[in-house]
Amino acid sequence: MKYKKISLYIPCFNAERYIKDCLKSVLQQTYPIGEILIIDDGSDDETVKIASQFPVKVIRHGVNKGLAAVRNTAIKHSTGKYLASLDADCAPKEDWLENLINNFSSKTVGIGGRLLESDLDSPVGSWRAVHMSQEWGKTSSNSVSFLFGSNNIFKKDILVKIGGYSENYKNNYEDVDISKRIKAAGYSLRYEAKALAYHLKNDTARSLFNTFWNWNFTYHEKKGYYNDYKNLYYKIKENIGLANKFIIDDLDQEKIPILYFDFLLCFYLSLKDFLYMYTKECGTFDDQSRVFYLSHLSLLDLTLTYHINSENEMPRTFIPNSDSFFQNFFIFLFSSGRLIQQRFNNRVFLNTVFKHLIEGFIGIENKLLDGLSKKTLLLFGAHQDWDYFLKKHHPNLNVEFLRLFLMNVESWFNDLTSQFPEIVNLIKVSQYDLVAKEGI
């Protein structure tokens, strides 16, 4: 039997947790692979060292260039007629490649496989399987809108002919873009449900929601949501609408264990949107110790501001506007916390929400996270009227964003609890089970 020459590449960035299992599965494929390329995109962990223990060719980027650039590097350096791609946190079934390569036709130039989540025992993994699936179902099809980048194979000459991957899309949407261009050129794509691979990644709430936000960033940027804060208002409404849809869908499917993450979604996405707008103006935070210092300093600053009684007196602040994200972050927590506490009437529930958001945006864990969460909850409980705080003209607060979010969330709470009176208790149960299972 004459085999087709296939080059398989694995994009890697700090993939030390998964690359060994990924490569073990690759080497067990029933269809021969001509070469395996590890395209390392500036990893600073043990990815390359681990991968080098296997029969692979390693190509390294000196700096992180993004996924589209990695794919173009693979096109440039591969020698096979067919170019397969597999994410580093995926493990293909033994006949994955065989099921892909044997389904090409004269017009079909790309075929994608079916990726299933392996971590279905945890609410995080279950949520990802439901709301971030990378598959088109159990039935193969020649009419899919795009091929997921996680596991696929293309005729290499077609990738070259259409100009490769667009590096305008650094880490997301590059798979959608190239699929659109291939179809626009008159070629066909196929989804092969029998080509199975398993997603190995064990997410946290932080990594889950960050990935969700990143996946959809290009779409929302194209819609102009990040042009200014006036347009961001429409993104806030979309965040709430999406959380509402997920809750209703998961209620209908009796997926109670993931309702808490549906609920948390609108808070996380809205903060992530605000952070992106902030970093466009002020830059990013790279020093973790500085982040921890600023978060505590912000709590102190807000405490002092709270005790200024006059609405007409402009409060002073010892934090420059360029470091004001954390002041806005904590007021977001306190004001949202009031609404959450009114509906859920449970401090443990509220504390867990605070911990998830603090971990997500301040990036601390374990004892430091517990300590900051407790301080946040204490300050929240000591001062009840955080809505009044927004009238104090604090120079660093984006009051328009905060008020718009709170107004829309309160309206959503009212509608949701009116339509589903049992929803509060179900979300509580969902969070309680999560805490019991994962010890948050």
Same domain, 30 and 141: yes
In a domain, 1, yes or no: no
Q: Are residues 265 and 388 in the same domain?
A: yes
One domain for residues 178 and 210 = no
Domain annotation covers residue 189: yes
63 within some domain: yes
Q: Report long-range pairs for 22-26 (Cβ below 8 Å, ≥24 apart).
A: 22/86, 22/87, 22/88, 22/89, 22/90, 22/91, 22/200, 23/51, 23/54, 23/56, 24/91, 25/91, 25/92, 25/93, 25/94, 26/86, 26/92
Residue 114 belongs to domain with CATH number: 3.90.550.10
Q: Give the end of a domain, one of 171, 199, 227.
A: 199
Domain final position from 199, 225, 257: 199
Q: How many domains does the chain have?
A: 2
Residue 61 resides in a domain? yes
- Does residue 187 sit in the same domain as residue 104? yes
Same domain? For 129 and 256 the reply is: no
Do 249 and 318 sit in the same domain of this protein?
A: yes
178 lies in the same domain as 139: yes
Same domain? 106 vs 250? no
Q: What is the pLDDT along the chain (440 residues), one digit of tens a residue?
A: 788 999 999 999 999 999 999 999 999 999 999 999 999 999 999 999 999 999 999 999 999 999 999 999 999 999 999 999 999 999 999 999 999 999 998 889 999 999 999 989 899 999 999 999 999 999 999 999 999 999 999 999 999 999 999 999 988 899 999 999 999 999 999 999 999 999 999 999 999 999 999 999 999 999 999 999 999 999 999 999 999 999 999 999 999 999 999 999 999 999 999 999 999 888 777 677 778 888 888 888 888 877 765 555 666 788 888 888 999 999 999 999 999 999 999 999 999 999 999 999 987 666 677 788 888 888 888 877 777 778 777 888 899 999 999 999 999 999 999 999 999 999 999 999 888 876 65
**Residues 12 and 100 reside in one and the same domain:** yes
Could you give the CA distance from residue 148 to residue 90 in angstroms, rounded to a whole number?
Answer: 13
Whether 365 and 325 share a structural domain? yes
Give pLDDT, residue 97. 98
Range of the domain at 65: 6-199
Alpha-carbon distances of 16 from 23, 39, 211, rounded to whole Å: 12, 14, 18
**Do 374 and 257 share a structural domain?**
yes
Which of 161, 178, 199 lies at the terminal end of a domain, its last residue? 199
Residues 366 and 411 in one domain: yes
Q: Is residue 292 part of a domain?
A: yes
